[in-house]
Structure formats: structure tokens, C-alpha cells
């Protein structure tokens, strides 16, 4: 049990949030697959061997109450599961330049479902920021999740990742922060081949440029344009 309040709603917490969706990990590494080994790399340690989708290393030490971790955000998790599965199974396979229409992925309520995808990554971004003990304010992310509204400061970019051909899942990169920007800017790329999702979080005062194919629910479209991912550590 953590003695810190839930970062989303403020309630006493007793849960640790998963760093990577278990479903993503199972999608990439089906159950019983012996020839794959799964590694996690993050700012604390590189290539840490994981023992399965429930491995403790997939969890972050971030206080989230059970209600926020399950009931509140379950529709967001489901929406990302659906989009992620669609991108993995796309035929022909996705490539840089592919245009993904939300209403092809979600037969109904495509805008609402894409908002939920955005909110799924709002939770991931908040957990990531807190996990690395960054001083960036996560309150706008919590407000968005609580209110079921888009976070004005969070932009997503979906890219075709390079097929690295080995069973490594890169769960987290270093937050892209510098002395000048570290209180107002965070950027993080979540890679589950063949998809890379780059999260750019910019608070007031940040001059950090947005990627050309950034998507935000307030753009009024559910259309995603996949780019090539070019800047990986
Ligand atoms: Zn909570």
C-alpha cells in the first residue's frame, strides 16, 4: 500500500499502475511463446529481463487508487486496446504515410472512442512523469481524466516504428527534458512494434515544437497520419 493519495482523484491509494498495457504485451508476445524474451528499458535500467506480462517490472511505483486504475479508466484502456489491435492486424500492414480513419477502427462513436485513446495516454503520461519524479505538473492530466475531456496540453503522434526484428519492447524512453524546459515540457515515446506513440505534453510557457503529424481531439478529426519515427535513442 502506498501512503500517497491517488494522483488522479486524490483518494488514498493502494494500487500500482501498469507501465505498459498487458494486452499490448500479449499482442506482441502471445501466451506460451518461449522463443521471445521480453526486456524493459527505462531511465533507471536498460534491458531488464521480464518474466511475463504480469512481471512486477511492468508496474510503476505511482499512486493510483483502485477505482481510477480500473473502473474510471477502463473505457480508455479498451479504446486503446481496440486501436492497438487494429493497427497490429491492419491489412495491408501499416507503413509511414498510412492514413488511419477513426471511423474504420471504431464502427460507432469514433470521436468519443478516440477521445478515450487520448485519455488512456493522459494516464500513461501522468504515471510516467511521476515515476521519474519529474517536477512537471500533472494536474491538467488528472483534470482531463476526471472530466472525460481532452487535455489541451497533451498531443499524440502515431508513427510506424522500425521493425527491429528482436523481441524487445521499449516501454519508456527518457523524458525529453532540459534545464530550460523541464518544468513545462515532457516528451515520451511508447513503442510496441509496429507502432510508436509519441506523447508531447506542453504546459504554458513551453515553446517545444509539435511534430508535424501531431493529433489532438480538439482538431475535430479522428484521422491519424502515420509518420516514420526518426529520432530514437
Ligand atoms: Zn483515484
Centre of ligand 1 to C-alpha 9, Å, is: 4
Domain boundaries, the chain: 22-58+71-228
Residue 136 has pLDDT above 90, yes or no: no
Residue 150 has pLDDT above 90, yes or no: yes
Cis omega (within 30 of 0) on the bond before 194?
yes
Centre of ligand 1 to C-alpha 190, Å, is: 23
What does the pLDDT read at residue 20? 63
Top-confidence residue, 30 or 64: 64
What does the pLDDT read at residue 37? 53
What does the pLDDT read at residue 21? 64
Q: Residue range 176-198: average pLDDT? A: 72
List the shell of residues around ion ligand 1, using CB closer than 5 Å: 6, 8-9, 11, 65, 68
Quickly tell me which residue has 502515431 as its cell. 158
Centre of ligand 1 to C-alpha 187, Å, is: 24
Residue 15 has pLDDT above 50, yes or no: yes
Q: Are 19 and 58 in contact (CB under 8 A)?
A: yes
Residue 164: which pLDDT band, with cuts at 50, 70 and 90? Answer: very low
pTM (2 d.p.): 0.83
Cα torsion 227, 228, 231, 233: sign: positive
Among the listed residues 20, 22, 39, the one whose alpha carbon sits nearest the alpha carbon of residue 31: 22
Top-confidence residue, 37 or 186: 186
Amino acid at each position: 500500500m502506498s501512503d500517497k493519495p491517488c494522483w488522479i482523484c486524490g483518494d488514498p491509494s493502494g494500487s500500482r499502475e501498469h507501465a505498459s498495457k498487458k494486452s499490448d504485451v500479449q499482442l506482441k508476445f502471445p501466451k506460451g511463446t518461449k522463443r521471445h524474451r521480453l526486456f524493459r528499458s527505462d531511465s533507471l535500467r536498460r534491458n531488464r529481463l521480464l518474466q511475463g506480462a504480469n512481471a512486477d517490472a511492468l508496474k510503476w511505483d505511482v499512486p493510483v487508487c483502485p477505482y481510477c486504475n480500473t473502473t474510471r479508466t477502463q473505457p480508455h484502456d479498451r479504446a486503446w486496446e481496440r486501436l492497438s489491435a487494429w493497427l497490429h492486424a491492419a491489412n495491408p500492414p501499416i507503413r509511414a504515410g498510412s492514413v488511419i480513419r477513426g471511423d474504420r477502427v471504431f464502427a460507432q462513436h469514433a470521436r468519443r472512442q478516440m477521445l478515450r485513446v487520448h485519455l488512456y495516454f493522459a494516464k500513461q503520461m501522468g504515471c510516467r512523469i511521476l515515476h521519474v519524479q519529474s517536477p512537471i505538473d500533472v494536474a491538467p492530466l488528472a483534470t482531463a481524466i476526471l472530466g472525460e475531456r481532452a487535455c489541451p496540453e497533451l498531443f499524440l503522434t502515431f508513427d510506424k516504428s522500425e521493425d527491429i526484428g528482436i523481441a524487445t519492447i521499449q516501454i519508456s524512453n527518457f523524458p525529453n527534458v532540459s534545464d530550460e524546459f523541464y518544468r513545462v515540457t515532457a516528451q515520451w515515446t511508447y513503442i510496441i512494434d509496429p507502432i510508436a506513440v509519441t506523447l508531447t505534453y506542453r504546459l504554458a510557457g513551453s515553446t517545444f515544437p509539435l511534430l508535424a503529424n501531431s493529433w489532438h481531439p480538439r482538431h475535430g478529426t479522428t484521422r491519424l497520419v502515420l509518420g516514420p519515427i526518426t529520432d530514437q535513442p
